[in-house]
Amino acid sequence: MLPRISIRSLTSCLPHVASLACLAGLTASCGSKKAPVSNAEPAAIRVGSQQIHLAELQADLDDLAKRRNPIAADASKFIPATVDRLTALEQAHQLGLDKDRELRRQWENLLIGRLHEQELEKRLAELKVTDAEIEEFYQNKKATYSRPAQLQLALLHLAVTRHTDEAKRKEIRAKMENARSLAKELSPEVTGFGALAMEYSEEATSRFKGGDVGWMQAGASGYRWPDEVIKAAFSLKAVGDISEVIEASDGYYLLRKLDFREPAVQPLEGRFRSSIANAVLAQKREALEKELKKSWQDAHPATIDDKLIQQLQYKKTPSQDPVFAEP
C-alpha cells in the first residue's frame, strides 16, 4: 500500500524547511507551480547564486492576491520579503544545508505527499461501492459470518486405563449403566445430572455442577474429550435427552443435552452492511493504490546493482534488541 503523506502535517513539522523555502509564507511560490522563465530573461533580483525572475515574482504576487494577503498590494513589503527569502536561501546554501540528508528526505516526502494529492486522492474520493459488490463480498465470506450449531452438554465420566482388567471394566460400566437408570428418573428442573455427578463422575471441573461442561460448537476441534463423545453429544435429538453409555479409550461416558442453538447467519443489514461496504471500499482503495504505484514503476523502471546492494550493512535499532529485567 502506498504511504499516506499529508502535505499540511509535513509542512507543520518542518518550520526550518518552510522558512528557507517560503520565508514563513510571505511569498507564494512555495507549493505553487513555478512560472515559466526564459533562459535569456534577466534576473529581477539576485542574491549571490540565488535569483528570481519577473515572471516568478508576478506569479508570487498573483498567488498572494488570490489568498487575499495584503502584501500583494504593497511593494514596500513584498520586495524586502523576497530579498530576505533569497538572502536566507543563499546563507543556507553557503552553510551546506541544501546537502543535509534529513532536510532532503523531508523535502522528498513533501513532494511525494503532493504527488499523492494530485494523482491519488481525487481518484480515491471518487470510488463508490455498489449493492452488487456488497452482496458478492458477503456471499464469498458467508462462512465467516455464520455461527455453527452450539450445544450445552452435561456429562459423567468414569475413567479406565490400559492396565484396567476386564472384570474392573465391567464393574465400572455397570456403575455407569446404573447412573443412566437413575438419571432417567430425574426431575426436568434438575440441572444436568444433579447430585448424581458427584457420585458417578470423575470429571473434576463439572462434577460439582451437575456435570455441566458448558457449550460446544459443531465442527470445532481441540476438546479434551474423545471424538466419539463429541459425535454422540451432537447426535442427541432433543434437549433433555440422555445418551447410551459410551465406551471410549479413557473410560465410560454418559451425556445429557442441556440446551441447543441452531446455526445462524449474520443478516446483511444495518451496521453490519455498512461494515461490509467499508471492507469493499478498502479493497478498492488498495487495488487503486497498487495500480497507480505500478504505473509509476512502469514509467520509471528501477535498475538495481545487486553486487553493490549486497555490501549494505543493516543495523539493529535499540527496540529490536532483547530487554532484560534488572536483577
Give the pTM: 0.51
Ordered by start, the domain boundaries in the chain are 7-115, 127-146+267-301, 149-262
For the purposes of burial, counting CB atoms within 10 Å of the CB of 183, is it exposed (0-12), middle (13-18) or buried (19 or more)? buried
What band does 22 get if pLDDT is binned at 50, 70 and 90?
very low
Is 204's pLDDT higher than 50?
Answer: yes
Assess contact for 292 and 2: CB atoms under 8 A: yes
pLDDT at 323: 53
Assess contact for 152 and 260: CB atoms under 8 A: yes
Give 78-112 pLDDT, tens digit per residue. Answer: 999 999 999 999 999 999 988 999 988 999 999 99
**Which residue, among 320, 318, 213, 312, has the nearest Cα to 258 in the 3D structure?**
213
Assess contact for 57 and 35: CB atoms under 8 A: no
What band does 26 get if pLDDT is binned at 50, 70 and 90?
very low
The percentage of residues in the chain with a pLDDT greater than 90, rounded to a whole number, is 67
Segment 19-29 shows an average pLDDT of 40
Q: Which CATH class is domain 149-262?
A: alpha beta
Give 134-192 pLDDT, tens digit per residue. Answer: 999 999 998 888 889 999 999 999 999 999 999 999 999 999 999 999 999 998 889 99
Is 17's pLDDT higher than 60?
Answer: no
What band does 30 get if pLDDT is binned at 50, 70 and 90?
very low
Question: Kind and range of the H or E element at 63?
Answer: helix 54-66
C-alpha dist (Å) from residue 307 to 259, 304, 311: 67, 9, 7
SS3 at position 302:
coil
pLDDT at 37: 55
Assess contact for 59 and 29: CB atoms under 8 A: yes
Give 41-61 pLDDT, tens digit per residue. Answer: 889 999 999 999 999 999 999
Segment 31-43 shows an average pLDDT of 62
Segment 303-323 shows an average pLDDT of 80
Segment 51-75 shows an average pLDDT of 92
pLDDT at 122: 86
Of the given ranges (26-30, 281-285, 313-317), which has the lowest mean pLDDT? 26-30
User: CA geometry: angle at 28 spanning 77 and 7, to 5°?
Assistant: 140
- Beta-strand ranges (E) seen in the chain are 43-47, 50-53, 146-147, 150-159, 212-217, 246-248, 251-261, 264-265
pLDDT at 222: 86
